[in-house]
């Protein structure tokens, strides 16, 4: 399946449903036909049963017609090859990584141990500065862009036909100023620098995909919509950097044994 990932909307449901969710690098896939809700953070992504299926779908839809700096030529792996990649260095920010429920933390820790035992992949301790500031800057960015995209339609919408969750979101988004949006882009540049420094010594930054498992829907969710910012914040805790910085990101299945 295809979806649009502006804040984890492909990777989070993939994680909650036990499938693979892949968000390519910004600019890799065409946005033709995609509602331009949040053009600097959102892009199409793939949900698939396996990594191999995600590769097949990606190779079919990726635009390689005009290679450029943002879209260098792809060299996808042969699915029949069996040699594993060695010497992969995984960056882990412990304080951030562990800010999740115990069952998720245990599962992800065991996944790292398995990668080390089976493939010899090394885990490096790093720090990702200003994560909370990045999360707020992403929220201001995606909210401001959504408001700008929908501006010509908002006056025509009947409020009674919009769910409470959307009403609240639009109310918050409409309060963001142009100064807040510009300051968020300054924070984006800072985070690009921080992440480039990490990637000088590491190949991948690893974390859980969500901070909690799926929570129970309330009885009135079908009639009034679902609005739970506490659980919502925990679900989106680890997905921000991929969208805000345009980095490729993937969530894969893991099992705690």
Of 86 and 105, the structure prediction assigns the larger pLDDT to 105
Q: Sign of the C-alpha dihedral, residues 141, 146, 149, 153?
A: negative
Fold of 2-69+87-251: Amidase signature (AS) enzymes (3.90.1300)
* Predicted pLDDT of residue 48: 97
- Please state, in angstroms and rounded to a whole number, the distance separating the CA atoms of residues 212 and 245: 24
Q: Is the model's pLDDT at 87 over the cut of 80? A: yes
pTM, whole model, 2 decimals?
Answer: 0.90
pLDDT of residue 257: 45
Helix ranges, 87-199 (H): 94-97, 102-119, 131-154, 164-173, 178-198
Domain ranges of the chain: 2-69+87-251
Q: What radius of gyration do the chain's Cα atoms show? A: 19
Give the model's confidence band at 82: pLDDT under 50 very low, under 70 low, under 90 confident, else very high.
low
Of the two residues 7 and 223, the one the predictor is more confident about is 7
pLDDT in tens, 177-219: 999 999 999 999 999 999 999 999 999 999 999 999 988 877 8
């Amino acid at each position: 399946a295809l979806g649009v990932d502006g804040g984890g909307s492909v990777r989070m449901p993939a994680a909650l449903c036990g499938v693979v969710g892949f968000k390519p690098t910004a600019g890799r896939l065409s946005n033709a036909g995609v509602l331009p809700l949040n053009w600097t953070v959102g892009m199409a992504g793939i949900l698939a049963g396996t990594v191999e299926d995600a590769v097949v779908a990606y190779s079919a839809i990726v635009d390689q017609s005009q290679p450029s700096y943002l879209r260098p030529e792809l060299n996808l792996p042969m699915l029949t090859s069996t040699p594993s990649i060695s010497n992969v260095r995984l960056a882990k920010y412990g304080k951030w990584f562990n800010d999740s429920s115990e069952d998720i933390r245990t599962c992800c820790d065991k996944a790292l141990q398995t990668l080390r035992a089976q493939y010899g992949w090394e885990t490096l301790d790093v720090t990702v500065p200003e994560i909370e500031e990045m999360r707020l800057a992403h929220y201001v960015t995606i909210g401001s862009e959504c408001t700008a995209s929908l501006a010509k339609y908002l006056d025509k919408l009947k409020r009674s036909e919009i769910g409470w969750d959307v009403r609240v979101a639009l109310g918050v988004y409409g309060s963001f100023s142009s100064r807040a949006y510009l300051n968020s882009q300054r924070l984006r540049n800072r985070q690009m620098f921080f992440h480039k420094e990490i990637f000088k010594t590491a190949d991948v930054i690893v974390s859980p995909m969500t901070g909690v498992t799926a929570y129970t829907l309330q009885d009135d969710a079908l009639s009034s919509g679902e609005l739970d910012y506490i659980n919502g914040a925990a679900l989106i805790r680890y997905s921000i950097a991929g969208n805000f910085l345009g980095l490729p990101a993937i969530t894969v299945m893991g099992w705690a044994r």
